[in-house]
Amino acid sequence: MDTAFWHLKYEWVKPGMTQKQIPGKVMGYLWDHNFQNAGFAVVASGSNTNPYHRPFTDRIVRPGDMIIFDLAGLCFKGYVVDYIRCWPVAAKFTPEQKAAYKKCYNTLMLTLKAMNPGGTSADVCGQFPRCLDDEGTWTGLESIHSMGLAMHEGLMATNGHSFEYSDVFERNMYFVRSVGRERSHHRQGISTYYVVPVRGGSARGHVSW
């Protein structure tokens, strides 16, 4: 998957393409490399990143557009992965885009500090932003969930249910943490993998700008 994202960023995504053309390149690459399940792809660019429009469309990708890829449910020999990455197309990050990305990254790291043996999913969800609507509904876009081989009998934690129905973290549980942040007219998202350690620990699979 790291290789697929390298191809996306440096070879496949070009200004003038439509959002619909891009997932085909990813899916073809995964099938050619013996993935059992290519899952699904969310591709959003420019104004489709905020509000986050998940179904990819015929929108033309333009230079400087922020583009988000969310590739989920990809399975290789029973091992399930979920990646989210974003970057500006054919351009460098602007100061505003860097600020949004840093906000994502800092939130990601803050959450991981709460993921230790004996801690609970409620502890982690307490670090999520409290995005409520008029009825007091919690957002489900901020989440952690099991990955790897644990995906088959894993857990999902969101601030929509984990305060009432909390799970306890155990050593060597493997999770993915997804974060998204809006800034002006665009949204950015990143994810990282995390093994619950004996003490301390580090994120895995994260690619920064």
What's the CA gap between 9 and 86, in Å, rounded?
Answer: 9
Cα 114 vs. chain centroid, distance in angstroms?
A: 19
What's the CA gap between 202 and 51, in Å, rounded?
Answer: 31
| CB 89 within 8 Å of CB 65 | yes
Element (H, E) at 194: strand 186-195
What's the CA gap between 110 and 112, in Å, rounded?
Answer: 6
Which long-range CB contacts under 8 A does 129-138 form with residues at least 24 apart?
130/159
Mean pLDDT of 22-40: 82
Residue 199 structure tokens: 């003490």
Q: Which of 57-61, 117-121, 151-155 has the lowest mean pLDDT?
A: 151-155
Element (H, E) at 182: strand 174-183
pLDDT, tens digit (0-9, with 9 covering 90-100), for 105-128: 887 777 777 788 888 888 888 777
CB neighbours of 106 closer than 8 A, spacing ≥ 6? none
Place of tokens 């502890």: 123
What pLDDT was estimated at residue 23?
A: 85
Task: Pick the closest to residue 148 from 73, 81, 76 (CA basis).
Answer: 81
Tell me the domains of the chain and their CATH numbers: 1-92 (3.90.230.10), 93-209 (3.90.230.10)
What is the pLDDT confidence band of residue 187, given thresholds at 50, 70 and 90?
A: low
Task: Pick the closest to residue 98 from 88, 90, 89, 108 (CA basis).
Answer: 88
Q: Which of 28-32, 125-129, 159-163, 191-195 has the lowest mean pLDDT?
A: 191-195
Mean pLDDT for the chain? Answer: 76
pLDDT, tens digit (0-9, with 9 covering 90-100), for 60-85: 999 999 888 887 777 887 777 777 78
